[in-house]
Amino acid sequence: MLNYLTLALVTALAYFIGQQFPLIGSSLSAILIGAIVAHSPLHTQLHLPQFKKISSTLLKYGIIVLGLTLSFATFSGIGVRSLLVTLPVIVGSFLTAIGVGRLLQVKMNGRLLVGVGTAICGGSAIAAAAPVIEAEEDEIAFAIATIFLFNMMALVVFPVVGAWLGYDDLAFGVFAGSAINDTSSVVAAGFAFSEQAGEIATVVKLVRTLMIVPACLALIGYRYYHLRQEGNPITLRQVRNIVPQFVIWFILAVIVATFVPIPTALTYLLKQIARILMTMALAAVGLSMNFKQLRTAGLPAILLGGITWLAVILVSIVLIAIFFQ
């Protein structure tokens, strides 16, 4: 009982911080507050291993609900054109994260989480990918912390770079929407440049967010390939394990959102429910964390995030110069 009460309190505090300070966000707040509680005297009264199972379950439910707020109808107008930039950015992010991560001796799960978080939409993409690849709590925490660090930098760097490159509203909107990780930072940077740039950046970011679907499918393919490389015969049960049920439900939820009109008020409510579920899941991640593991993996993960993000920025600049200027 104390476990659930602690989780609820940590979630409520993290969600409040996320509402009051969107640029900090509830995801990072949940992990940090949870980790502080897990290393406080209170931890002797908690059953910490239980939080691992709780976090996995809540992440899956949160992602399924998130699917009901996404729609392929976003692919229209500037959304379609933005794929000329966002698709190469996503591929480049993954390749950079995997290649550089290997040089920095970051574990494969860490590389994949940093890659998907940088490529698509920060914390939400990391939360969706983590159960697929069976990532550990410290890997999830570092990926989210790394994404947060470079989101904060983006708010200062992007308007300066956009002005230096002479971007108009369209070019800067595509730049912010395709190369900044978290939605709140995309919106903040876009509207800081101009109202029109903010609107364009939001649409581009929504299209980019939908890439969670093919990204999860690609990660499923990676797991299948990895099993084949080990020389193990692939049984039907293994195939079922490789394709998590929550991914199927998530895809179905996106399809429903695409073809069934969902009132705006209900969509907003579903977004809040998804955010609360994922905040609670990440609070559970924090409550099951070990600071010793974090100290071991810290600097390489941050370097990997910075190099991957720099690659995303450079690819975006080159492609915007080709297609939007």
What pLDDT, in 10s, does the model give residues 25-83? 777 678 778 878 877 777 667 776 777 778 778 877 887 887 888 777 766 677 778 88
The alpha-helical segments, DSSP class H, found in the chain are 2-20, 26-38, 50-67, 78-103, 108-116, 123-133, 137-164, 169-179, 183-193, 195-209, 212-229, 236-242, 245-259, 264-287, 291-323
pLDDT tens, position by position, 165-180: 999 999 999 999 999 8
Q: Which segment of 86-90, 95-99, 235-239, 305-309 scores lowest on mean pLDDT?
A: 235-239
Q: What is the pLDDT of residue 283?
A: 83
SS3 state at 122:
coil
Residue with tokens 């370097």: 303
Q: Which residue did the predictor score with more confidence, 241 or 97?
A: 97
- b/e for 245-284, b at 16 or more Cβ within 10 A? ebbebbbebbeebeeeeeeeeeeeebeebbbbbbbbbbbb
Distance of CA 194 to the CA centre of its chain: 26
Q: What percent of the chain has a predicted confidence (pLDDT) above 90?
A: 14
State yes or no: pLDDT of 8 exceeds 80: yes
State yes or no: pLDDT of 197 exceeds 80: yes
Q: What is the pLDDT of residue 321?
A: 92
pLDDT tens, position by position, 268-315: 898 888 888 878 887 887 777 665 555 555 678 888 888 999 999 999
How far apart, in whole angstroms, are the C-alpha atoms of residue 198 and residue 3? Answer: 41
| C-alpha distances out from residue 202 to 172, 205, 273, Å | 11, 5, 21
Q: How many CA atoms lie within 13 A of 32 on its CB side?
A: 15
Q: What is the pLDDT of residue 183?
A: 72
Q: How many CA atoms lie within 13 A of 204 on its CB side?
A: 35
How far apart, in whole angstroms, are the C-alpha atoms of residue 225 and residue 96? Answer: 20
Q: Structure tokens of 225?
A: 């390939």
Kindly report the length of the chain.
Answer: 325
How far apart, in whole angstroms, are the C-alpha atoms of residue 257 and residue 72? Answer: 8
Q: Which residue did the predictor score with more confidence, 100 or 198?
A: 100
* Burial (CB count <10 Å: 0-12, 13-18, 19+), residue 132: buried
State yes or no: pLDDT of 188 exceeds 90: no
pLDDT tens, position by position, 222-273: 777 766 666 655 555 555 555 557 767 878 888 888 888 888 889 889 888 8
Q: What is the pLDDT of residue 316?
A: 94
How far apart, in whole angstroms, are the C-alpha atoms of residue 30 and residue 290? Answer: 15
Mean pLDDT, the chain, whole residue set? 80
How far apart, in whole angstroms, are the C-alpha atoms of residue 166 and residue 69? Answer: 35
Are residues 40 and 20 in contact, defined by beta-carbon separation less than 8 angstroms? Answer: no
Q: What percent of the chain has a predicted confidence (pLDDT) above 70?
A: 87
pTM, two decimal places: 0.72
